[in-house]
Chain A
Amino acid sequence: MLDQTTSPNMQRAKGRAHLGFVARAGKTTLMDLHQSGCVKAMLPRNHAPVMDGVLINTAGGVTGGDQLQYSATLGDDTTLCLTTQTAERIYQSSSGHGTIKTDFSVGANATFDWIPQETILFNQSALKRNMTVTMDASSSVMLMESIVLGRRAMGETLNSCFLSDQWRVMRSGKMAYADALRISDPNALNTPATLGGNRAFTTLVYIAPDAEARRNQMQQMLNFDDVKTGVSAWNGCLVTRFIARDAQPLRKALIATLTQFRNAPLPRVWHM
């Protein structure tokens, strides 16, 4: 075919990891593990009451055309904290956009925390990310995404990038929360209504039977000199937003907030 637009020789990273858990005699147990391509999953021993799962993109980043898929199924009464091994780097894309698809299914009375490390957007990167969560109204789910626009500490500035991040959470059959983030021009993010020139931000969502009751607890934890925050609770969702000048102060604030709110240390990869 002479008119095809993509070269068959282009190296594109593809990877998929799926984890399935059930509760057996009160203990969360891995039942199903699938990993292929550049994505791996690990369950490091942590001597903690809650199991940690760690997802690894061995391709070392995402560029145009890459396709990553992460998914987990948590049975009734299971507990899992899932994170990523390191920050995900979204590199310059020569054509098209990278895609990351994340799907979680959470059964009754289960507790699931998805607290990946930050996503760093490099110049001329392009990423479309979709996360869907199906949960039971009796379960507790924490979802977080952090975005860093370039690495200011390294003297990098971001002139162009594209990011679309779509979250959809179905709770006992009804859409409970949706988030749609879209960055089409990083130069437009210097104004007060957007990021005011800040370069790092996080959305943290906790959906649980006690989410609204814990609003004030969260509010009292949010006390940082160098990170701006806001919190609000409605319809069974507790939403907290963070904005910081750069990745470091944001990370510090997140570690403090998550450790206190979850009343548990973060998975070890967060401290490496």
Chain B
Amino acid sequence: MGMGAHIAMSTNSAHKLLAWLSPSYPIGAYSYSHGLEYAIDAGDVHDAHSLQIWLSDVLQYGAGRNDAILLAHAYRADGDALTELCDLAIALSPSAERHLETTAQGAAFAKVTSAITGHDISAMPLPVALGVAARREDVPLNDLIPLYLHSFAANIIAAGVRFIPLGQTDGQRVLHALFDQIDDIAKQAETASLDDLGSACFWSDIASMKHENMTTRIFRT
């Protein structure tokens, strides 16, 4: 196999990724909106077009890209390096709710995946737990990263469909429009260093803070 050649995903790996990243994998993904519920309430996101722009930014300049970089590093990390990566991923949370979003889902993912695979995966923030599980289960990194971003986007879109509200088909249209961008982000993240981490989604971070103060909330974040 030549350098840089894309290893075709085996059906076995595809099964695992579909299961782990499915909304039915019991980590409670549907209960987190990543601050979108507040952004909808504030009028920043009000239709399919504004949802697509919001998501495109969160993927490119926010948690999407950062999670992708953390995931790639988790895939390679062991021992102390893995512990440090976990600490960094947790410490990077921009608000109490985003801290909950990554740690609670990560802990649930580790618990369920350990029970199924027999590997002992300890509670780690979600992208780190996924990276560790994928390596232990021989799931290729270059499939894992774009499909993780896909599921991350799909989950926020599902929140938008429920709360904006938006037609199911419109929601799928938004997701499809993000595929190319997701692939680009994933490719860059594979070789990015931890110095490349960084967000410019300042208002999205504030939205996740303001969500704490909403009196009626459907989502946990």
Q: Give A residues with C-beta under 8 Å from B.
A: 164-166, 168-169, 174-184, 188-189, 191-196, 201, 219, 228-235, 239, 241, 243
Known: A180-B92, A230-B209. A164 touches B45 (CB 8 A): no
Residues of B within 8 A of A219 (CB): 213
Chain B, range 192-212, C-beta contacts under 8 Å to A: 195-210, 212
Interface SS of chain A: strand
**Nearest A residue to B42, CB-CB:** A192
**Contact among B61, B62, B87, B198 with A164 in the assembled complex (CB-CB below 8 Å):** B198
Q: Is the CB of B57 within 8 A of A177?
A: no
Q: Is the CB of B202 within 8 A of A194?
A: yes
- CB of B99 within 8 A of chain A? yes
Total interface residues on B, using CB and 8 Å? 42
Contacting pair B202 A201 (CB below 8 A): yes
CA distance A219 to B198 in the complex (A): 26
Q: A189-B200, A196-B203 known; 8 other A-B pairs, CB under 8 Å?
A: A165-B198, A166-B198, A176-B91, A181-B199, A182-B196, A192-B53, A193-B61, A230-B95
Complex Cα gap A195–B199 (Å): 12
Bound together, the chains give a CA A231 to CA B62 distance in angstroms of 18
Judged by DSSP, the binding face of B is: helix
User: Measured between C-beta atoms, what is the minimum distance from A268 to chain B in Å?
Assistant: 30
Task: Identify the closest chain B residue to A188 (Cβ).
Answer: B61
CB distance from B199 to the nearest CB of A (A): 6
- Chain B residues with a Cβ under 8 A of chain A: 39, 44-45, 50, 53-54, 57-58, 60-62, 66, 84, 87-88, 90-97, 99, 195-210, 212-213
A150 to B48, alpha carbons, bound, how many Å? 32
A232-B212, A234-B96, A243-B206 known; A188+B91 contact, CB < 8 A: no
B185 to chain A, nearest CB (A): 13
- Check A229/B88 contact, CB under 8 A, given A193-B54, A193-B62, A194-B57: no
Q: How far is the CB of B206 from chain A (nearest CB, A)?
A: 4
A192-B54 CB under 8 A given contacts A180-B198, A241-B205: yes
Across the interface, do B57 and A188 meet the contact criterion of CB distance under 8 Å?
Answer: yes
The smallest beta-carbon distance between B41 and chain A, in angstroms, is 13
Rounded to whole Å, the gap between the CB of B133 and the closest CB of chain A is 23
Alpha-carbon separation in the docked complex, A6 to B95 (Å): 42
For the complex, give the distance between the alpha carbons of A150 and B202 in Å: 17
Taking a contact as CB atoms closer than 8 A, the residue among A168, A175, A183, A241 that contacts B209 in the complex is: A241
Establish whether residues A231 and B209, one from each chain, have CB atoms under 8 Å apart when the complex forms: yes
Query: Once the chains bind, are B95 and A182 in contact (CB under 8 Å)?
Result: no
Most chain B CB within a 10 A radius of its CB, from A174, A201, A230: A230
Chain A: CB-nearest residue to B97 = A232
Does the CB pair A175–B95 fall under 8 Å?
A: no
Cβ–Cβ contact A182 & B197, under 8 A: yes
Residues of A within 8 A of B196 (CB): 182
Residues of A within 8 A of B208 (CB): 230, 232
Which residues of B sit under 8 angstroms from A165, Cβ to Cβ? Answer: 198
Contact in complex: B197, A194 (CB < 8 Å): no
Q: Which residues of chain A are near B198, meaning CB under 8 Å?
A: 164-166, 180-182
Contacting pair A174 B203 (CB below 8 A): no
Is the pair A230, B200 in contact by a Cβ cutoff of 8 Å?
no
Give B85 Cβ to nearest chain A Cβ, in Å. 10
Q: How close is B130's CB to chain A, nearest CB, in angstroms?
A: 20
- Between A and B, 21 residue pairs with Cβ closer than 8 Å are A166-B198, A175-B91, A178-B92, A180-B197, A181-B199, A182-B199, A188-B61, A192-B50, A192-B54, A192-B57, A193-B54, A193-B58, A193-B203, A194-B57, A194-B202, A195-B200, A196-B44, A230-B207, A232-B97, A234-B93, A234-B95
- A149 CB → nearest B CB, Å: 11
Q: Which of A166, A179, A194, A229 contacts B61 (CB 8 A)?
A: A194
